[in-house]
Chains A and B, each alone.
Chain A
Amino acid sequence: MNAAHHAMTKPAMGARTVWSLFFHRLGAHRLAVGSAVFLAVLGVLAFATPAIEAVLGVDANLVDLSRRFQGPSRAHLLGTDELGRDLLVRLLYGGQVSLFVGIVAALASAVTGTVVGLLAGYYGGRLDAFLMRLTDGVIALPLLPLLIVLAALDLTKLGLPESVVQDPNISLYRIIVIISLVGWTTVARLVRAAALSVREMDYVLAATAAGAGGLRIMAVHILPNVISPIIVASTLSVGNVILLESVLSFLGLGIQPPIASWGNMLTGAQELIWSSPELAFYPGMLIFVTVIAFNFLGDGLQDAMDPRAIEG
């Protein structure tokens, strides 16, 4: 079997670079490609919202009480919400916020997790034991009190300038910080496990024997070889963060109005589910489809980055 496997894959790889192979494999994963395209379109739309807003001649935050709960019309393609605001544009802004929170929080978690995981995995011993117990602690940490404490912190006391604290987006940053503070554990564990195995690889030994220091080994030899699980985990966690944001909104700890996020739009619409189900349908569907798309993309990436496939 090994022999056959060998004979099968090695020549097939011959002329290809790692990336072309990666894209080839990803391309075979049709759902992942579809998801990537969907997310790209969504991203472009979300971040072009101000332009779309201008073209449609609507204002996402303009309350117009005479136009509440209107059905789709030429002026409002998807109709209006409970405050007479254009639903489409709010959904797009919500997407901007949800994607931003998701991506930034996932990135921040990934960075923290990678650093912790690399240190624990590469140095091992007491540092590893300490960092892993820390990770366990964070996992076991009750999220709720933490969220409430963080939501109540007086940020000026932390030395943040007034302009930051007064920023209308502060609730958004809070969410990102909170999620980053607790969300890094998965990546840390993955990276540690991967680093533990990569650490034993001969090429790491070779670099050590050549005199490379810990920093260089971690940066040049371990990190690039554990990047796949990081990318996969981060992709999946973008979806999770978007879901988590909606749950936080449900608990009243999410992003505060008038900033729209899919989470708070869905939570707000929940109570109107009987009279205006479409208000809940759109953000609910968008969350669902986006999260599922991130999951598919992550799945596709996982397949495409399968080290077995690359190593041959």
Chain B
Amino acid sequence: MIAAMAGGLGLAACGEQKQDRHTLVIGMTQYPATLNPNIESMLAKTYVLAMTRRPFTHHDTDWNLVCALCETLPTLENGLAVRETLANGKQGVAVTYTIKQGATWGDGTPVTTKDVLFTYEVGKHPASGVADGELYRRILRIGVKDARTFTLHLDRLTFDYNAINSFQVLPAHIDRANFKDPKEYRKRTAYDSDSTNPGLYFGPYRITEKKIGSRIVLERNPTWWGKKPYFKKIVVRIIEKTAALEANLLSGSINYIAGELGLLLDQGIAFEKRHGKDFDIQFKPSLVYEHIDLNLENPFLKDRRVRTALILALDREELSSRLFDRRQPVADSFVHPLDWIHSKATPRYRYDPARAGRLLDAAGWAKRDSKGFRVNAKGRRLTFELMTTAGSRTRELVQQILQSQWRKAGIDIRIRNEPARVYFGETVTKRKFKAMAMFAWLSAPESVPRLTLHSSQITTAANNWSGQNYTSYKNPEVDKLLDAIEIELDRPKRRVLWARLQKLYARDLPVLPLFFRADPFIIPKWLKGIRPTGHQDPTTLWVEHWRAERP
């Protein structure tokens, strides 16, 4: 053992790593499974791919929709989007995009409408394994004007008609051969079988090395049309355990921890206290909405007074300030305060134990048992099972705080957590949680919560457990609002609808809003140009602006 250690030190002495100022090593906690941009969406993949390619549209750091691969964002105003009436009489829209001048695959082949058509072909094929079928179903057909310009004919006119963030163009010249048998495509796609093929990428970087489960190496892509990136090489290393991640950062074997997939907030806060002078630490509030889904079929939770009392009995401000240093804003609804659709008129539930008590008294939970918990007339205790993913430390902490706060109000909380695989794979999806399920949604700015709130999205065996309305929330007015918001193009009018929706949501409380998560970005002082977005589009969409300013 001692010998082994000595040997180790010997090795250490002779092979110390040299610091290369043109190499950036990023650490993150998740390995991207597939690299095919259209199969499965996964944050780790999005993060890496954003360095190697660009979507047609995405949201910028101010949460506005911008063009990345297209020349101009088509709008009804600028005439690139045109209303059209469909054969069935419904309102559709034709949106025209032009591929950016100079967009060229890494092997020199230009990105053309051929690729667009191929992507559409793949996307709409039922057997291809593409995850997001919705967008491709909405595209009725694609009109090609020339090698760079094409028009999407969409089956309805929604307010976000021009956002095609998930239309990720695929290289027809490489991957078409792999699509001969659509069923096999997801296994054969060059992104996974030949990941380092330069022809797959057209962004500032291309992938030159992939070590499964361990790291991905990117190098500058010579065919990139935009600003020349500063770093010659970027290495993304996968280190799952955040404690180890931190150790790696401190030991210098990684330079930067991706905020999107990095440390937990409290680790970040603690890190700032100790290493604030060496690192620039940013806490960006994000569109990750932490909440508790309530099972509205639970007899106790059916009563809105109980639900209201539940949230009134929580001191979320205290929780946020103590646990998260006020970095995570308390949520009043699913809408982030920074989102333009956020309505100030939404009812806000401040900590009000007295009112909570009155509500519970009124709901028939006036009596207390020997342990101080409320009981109803039948002597049954007011008790709920609170579930979340096991092993997720922050959530477990929050859980315990909630439990403790609710206890003061006489509400008994039983905690039962499950591994993510079981929790999301079964319990939540199939609505098997008895009362409360805590988890988060990650969304884009102004995204319509149809899947989570519309009564048609209640998951049942009949609909194959799809949809995401796990609370079994049914409100005809909400259904109507969701339908209306989608097709309302006028922002002020839409704002009114949004406000109403938020109000209903906050009143009905199918979900207990907790807060919006903030990700700590731990950036060494010399690393400049990283601007956290706060939504689902990653910072790496601006990777060409990253640079080192070493003394």
Are A and B close enough to touch in the complex, i.e. CB under 8 Å?
yes
CB distance from A11 to the nearest CB of B (A): 44
Cross-chain contact of B322 among A66, A268, A274 (Cβ < 8 A): A66
- The closest CB in chain A to the CB of B241 belongs to A270
A83 contacts B401, CB within 8 Å? yes
B414 at the A interface (CB under 8 A): yes
The yes or no answer to A171 lying at the interface (CB within 8 A) is yes
A273 surroundings in chain B (CB, below 8 A): 243
- Asked if A151 is an interface residue, CB under 8 A from chain B, the answer is yes
Contact A251 B391 (CB under 8 A): yes
> 0/1 per residue, A245-268, Cβ < 8 Å to B?
000000111001110000000011
B242 to chain A: closest CB distance in Å? Answer: 6
B227 at the interface (CB under 8 A from A): no
Does B274 contact A65, Cβ atoms closer than 8 Å?
no
Cβ-based interface call for B271 (8 A) = yes
Q: Is the CB of A268 within 8 A of B396?
A: yes
Docked complex Cα distance between A83 and B416 (Å): 19
Interface presence of A61 (CB below 8 A): yes
Measured between C-beta atoms, what is the minimum distance from B291 to chain A in Å?
20
B residues 207-231 with Cβ under 8 Å of A? none
Asked if B396 and A274 sit within 8 Å, CB to CB, the answer is no
Q: Does chain B have a CB within 8 A of A152?
A: yes
Tell whether, in the assembled complex, residue A63 and residue B401 are in contact, meaning their CB atoms are under 8 Å apart: yes
Give bound CA distance, A166 to B389, whole Å: 18
Size of the B side of the interface (Cβ < 8 Å), in residues, is: 40
Contacts of B241 in A (CB 8 A): 270
> Cα distance A65–B408 when bound, in Å?
14
CA distance A300 to B264 in the complex (A): 45
Shortest distance in angstroms between A59's beta carbon and chain B's nearest beta carbon?
10
Q: Which residues of A contact B422 (CB under 8 A)?
A: 148, 151-152
What B residues does A271 contact at CB under 8 A?
242-243, 264, 267, 393
Indicate if the CB atoms of B246 and A274 lie closer than 8 Å.
Answer: yes
Q: Could you say which residues of chain B place their CB within 8 Å of the CB of A170?
A: 416
Chain B proximity of A261: nearest CB distance (Å): 13
Query: Within 8 Å CB of B403, what residues of A?
Result: 63, 258
Q: In the complex, what distance in Å separates the CA atom of A275 from the CA atom of B264?
A: 13
Q: CB distance B274 to A275 under 8 Å?
A: yes
Question: With the chains together, A253 CA to B274 CA distance in Å?
Answer: 32
Q: Is B273 at the interface (CB under 8 A from chain A)?
A: yes
Kindly list chain B residues whose C-beta atoms are within 8 Å of the C-beta of A258: 400, 403, 415
- Scan B416-443; emit 1 where CB is below 8 A from any A CB, else 0: 1111011000100000100000000000
Alpha-carbon separation in the docked complex, A251 to B404 (Å): 25
A221 part of interface (Cβ distance < 8 Å): no
Interface presence of A68 (CB below 8 A): yes
Interface size band for A:
20 to 34
Q: Does A278 contact B (CB under 8 A)?
A: no
**Considering the chains assembled together, what is the distance between the CA atoms of A148 and B271 in angstroms?**
34
B65 interfacial contact with A, CB 8 Å = no
Instruction: Please give, as numbers and ranges, the residues of chain A lying within 8 Å of B267 by CB-CB distance.
Output: 271-272, 274-275
Flag if A252 contacts B246 (CB, 8 Å): no
A159–B404 CA distance with the chains assembled, in angstroms: 31
In the complex, which residues of chain B have a beta carbon less than 8 angstroms from the beta carbon of A270? 241, 243
Cβ contact within 8 Å between B404 and A61? yes
**0/1 string, B156-168, CB within 8 A of A gives 1:** 0000000000000
A61 to B404, CA, bound (A): 8
Asked if B448 is at the interface of the complex by the 8 Å CB criterion, the answer is no
Contact between A148 and B419, CB atoms less than 8 A apart: yes
Which chain A residues lie closer than 8 Å to B432 at the CB level? 154
- Say yes or no: is A72 at the interface (Cβ < 8 Å to chain B): no
Is A53 interfacial (CB-CB < 8 Å)?
Answer: no
Among B380-396, those with CB < 8 Å from A are: 383, 385, 389-393, 396
Query: Of B273, B414, B421, which contacts A166 at CB under 8 A?
Result: B414
User: How far apart are B157's CB and chain A's nearest CB, in angstroms?
Assistant: 44
Q: Is the CB of A252 within 8 A of B264?
A: no
Instruction: Give complex CA distance A273, B243 in Å.
Output: 7
Q: Is B319 an interface residue, CB under 8 A from the partner?
A: yes
Q: Which residues from chain B contact A68 at a C-beta distance below 8 Å?
A: 322-323
A128 at the interface (CB under 8 A from B): no
User: Taking the complex as formed, is B397 at the interface, i.e. its CB lies under 8 A from any CB of chain A?
Assistant: yes
Q: A135-175, CB under 8 A of B: which get 1 and which 0?
A: 00000000000001001101000000000001010110000
Residue A82 interfacial (CB < 8 Å): yes
* Chain B residues near A66 (CB-CB < 8 A): 322
Residue ID in chain B nearest A68 by CB atoms: B322
Give the contacts of B143-161 with A (CB-CB under 8 A): none
In the bound complex, what is the Cα–Cα distance between A170 and B414 (angstroms)? 10
* A62 at interface, CB cutoff 8 A: yes
Q: Of A62, A151, A152, A274, which is within 8 A of B270 by CB?
A: A274
Q: A252-B390, A252-B419 are in contact. Are A65 and B243 (CB under 8 A)?
A: no
B466 within 8 Å of A by Cβ?
A: no
CA A267 – CA B246 in complex, angstroms? Answer: 16
CA distance A294 to B166 in the complex (A): 58
- C-alpha gap A274/B247 in the complex (Å): 9
Beta-carbon contacts under 8 Å, A218-265 to B: 251-253, 256-258
Q: Does B460 contact A (CB under 8 A)?
A: no
| Beta-carbon nearest neighbor of B383 in chain A | A166
A82 to B270, CA, bound (A): 12
B400: A residues at CB distance < 8 A? 61, 63, 83, 257-258
* A65, A171, A257: the one within 8 Å of B319 (CB): A65
A272-B270 in contact (CB<8A): yes
Which one, B243, B271, B322, B415, contacts A168 given CB within 8 A?
A: B415
Instruction: List residues of chain B with CB within 8 A of the CB of A267.
Output: 391
For residue B318, CB closer than 8 A to chain A, the reply is yes
B23 within 8 A of A: no
Judged by a CB distance under 8 angstroms, whether B399 is at the interface is: yes
Q: Across the interface, name the chain A residue whose C-beta is closest to B401.
A: A63
Closest B residue, CB atoms, query A148: B419
CA–CA, A168 and B417, complex, Å? 11
Specify the chain B residue showing the minimal Cβ separation from A167: B414
Closest to B385 in A: A166
Given the interface contacts A151-B419, A258-B415, does A65 sit within 8 Å of B270 by beta carbon?
no
Pull 13 A–B residue pairs with CB atoms less than 8 Å apart, ordered by A.
A62-B404, A63-B401, A63-B405, A65-B318, A65-B322, A66-B322, A68-B323, A82-B266, A151-B422, A253-B391, A257-B399, A257-B400, A257-B417
For the complex of A and B, the 3 pairs showing the least CB-CB separation, nearest first, are A252-B391, A63-B404, A65-B322
A252-B391, A252-B417, A275-B271 known; 12 other A-B pairs, CB under 8 Å? A61-B400, A61-B404, A63-B404, A63-B405, A65-B319, A83-B400, A148-B422, A152-B422, A166-B414, A171-B416, A253-B419, A257-B417
